[in-house]
Amino acid sequence: MDRAPQDTGAAFPPDVASLVLWMRVTGGDGQTLNHVWFHGDTEVGNVPLTIGGSPWRTWSRKTIPADATGAWHVEIRDAAGTVLKRIDFTVGQ
């Protein structure tokens, strides 16, 4: 609502259907950051996001198959591949 997340969590039901990773960036104008989605240790998505100002809000969305339960995480990486932040969560457990 109003371009801000309304709910957060670390555990989601198996029928969640999709999840959104929202981030607010300061001082990154012109950079590209990637949301790299993992199910277990398998990379299942990589979304480049160009930062258009400071502060800047942006997000990526991932469809979660009903049978993709277990441990998930998303890494926020800079253009060099350095992990800036890791967000861990579970689906269906």
List, in order, residues 6 or more apart from 18 with CB less than 8 Å away. 61, 62, 63, 64
How many angstroms separate the CA atoms of 53 and 71, rounded?
33
Q: What's the pLDDT at 3?
A: 66
Ordered structural domains, the chain, with CATH: 15-91 (2.60.40.2550)
pLDDT tens, the chain, 93 aa long: 676 677 788 999 999 999 999 999 999 899 999 999 999 999 999 999 999 999 999 999 999 998 999 999 999 999 999 999 999 999 997
